[in-house]
């Protein structure tokens, strides 16, 4: 499945080059007071008024709509001074109180994050080591320069666990459609633990988290699409 991207680029943006292309950032609005049928348009209008302070390349909401309001591959003001110069695109998810609408918004959100990562030539992995799709929380905890920890609390409130979000980023929703999800954990020596999910009787864990758990070095070759694990010397 693919989506139409409505292009409504804002004027007066800084049009500055990135330092490097490393990330695509996953955000959500954080605005619990804006969850009605016009939430997406309200958020876009607010960002347009305040673009000198904060703006991202894309918004998702309104029942699966995608609106691009700034160019990709150029500096955006969405995840702080340390993350912004490294981020090819930054995607905001507008809130809704309608669970059925959320399903449509979430499907578009996952699709867009994956597509932008493909465009940027970075791994389609959430919050792993190295380049990839990063949550705003990962930027806060790893790079600093910002304090936001989205989008996990909102996704959890709508029934999407962190483990499922990571899996959906890695696999896409079409591949996972119809599967039965159960949250799980993988534990090493009854001590270290990482989040996982059980899908139709099989346990899946993010390979980068698994490498960290086993103290292995992970190397991803974007050209061959091969992931290798090595002993740390």
pLDDT of residue 228: 76
Chain centre distance of CA 126: 6
CATH topology of domain 5-177: Lysozyme-like (3.40.80)
Q: What is the mean pLDDT of residues 25-48?
A: 98
Is the pLDDT at 181 greater than 70? The verdict is no
For position 220, what pLDDT does the model report?
Answer: 65
Percent of the chain with pLDDT over 70: 91
Domain ranges of the chain: 5-177, 182-233
pTM (global) more than 0.85: no
218 token code pair: 């992970």
What does each C-alpha distance from 161 to 3, 26, 79, 123 come to in angstroms? Answer: 24, 15, 22, 21
- The answer for residues whose C-beta is within 8 angstroms of residue 47's C-beta and 6 or more apart is 10, 54, 55, 56, 59, 69, 92
User: What pLDDT is attached to residue 59?
Assistant: 98
CA–CA gap between residue 132 and residue 163 (Å, rounded): 16
| Most distant CA atoms of the chain, gap in Å | 56
What is the C-alpha to C-alpha distance for residues 23 and 113, in angstroms, rounded to an integer? 10
- The two beta strands, 23-26 and 132-135, are parallel
Least confident of 46-50, 93-97, 159-163, 210-214: 210-214
Strands laid side by side in the 87-93 sheet: 5-7, 65-68, 58-61, 87-93, 23-26, 132-135
| Mean pLDDT estimate for the chain | 90
| 126 vs 211, higher pLDDT | 126
> Residue 203's pLDDT is what?
76
Preceding omega of 203 cis (within 30 degrees of 0): no
- Residue 201 confidence (pLDDT): 65
Distances in Å between the alpha carbon of 30 and those of 33, 140, 150, 159, 161? 9, 15, 7, 16, 17
Say how far apart CA 215 and CA 15 lie, in whole Å.
41
pLDDT at 216: 81
pLDDT digits (tens, 9 = 90+) for 94-114: 999 999 999 999 999 999 999
């Amino acid at each position: 499945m693919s989506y139409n991207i409505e292009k409504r680029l804002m004027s007066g943006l800084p049009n500055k080059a990135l330092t490097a292309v490393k990330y695509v950032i996953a955000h959500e609005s954080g605005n619990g007071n804006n969850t009605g049928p016009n939430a997406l348009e309200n958020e876009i209008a607010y960002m347009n008024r305040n673009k000198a302070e904060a703006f991202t390349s894309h918004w998702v909401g309104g029942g699966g709509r995608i609106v691009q309001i700034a160019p990709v591959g150029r500096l955006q003001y969405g995840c702080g001074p340390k993350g912004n110069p490294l981020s090819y695109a930054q995607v905001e998810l507008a809130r809704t109180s309608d669970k059925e609408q959320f399903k449509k918004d979430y499907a578009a959100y996952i699709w867009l994050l994956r597509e932008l990562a493909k465009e940027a030539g970075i791994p389609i992995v959430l919050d792993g080591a190295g380049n990839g799709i990063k949550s705003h929380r990962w930027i806060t905890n790893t790079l600093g320069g910002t304090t936001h920890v989205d989008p996990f609390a909102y996704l959890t409130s709508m029934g999407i666990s962190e483990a499922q979000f990571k899996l959906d980023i890695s696999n896409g929703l079409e591949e996972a459609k119809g599967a039965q999800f159960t949250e799980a954990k993988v534990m090493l020596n009854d001590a270290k633990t990482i989040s996982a999910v059980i899908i139709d009787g099989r346990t899946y864990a993010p390979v980068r988290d698994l490498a960290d758990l086993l103290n292995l070095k992970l190397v991803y070759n974007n050209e061959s699409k091969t992931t290798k694990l090595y002993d740390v010397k």
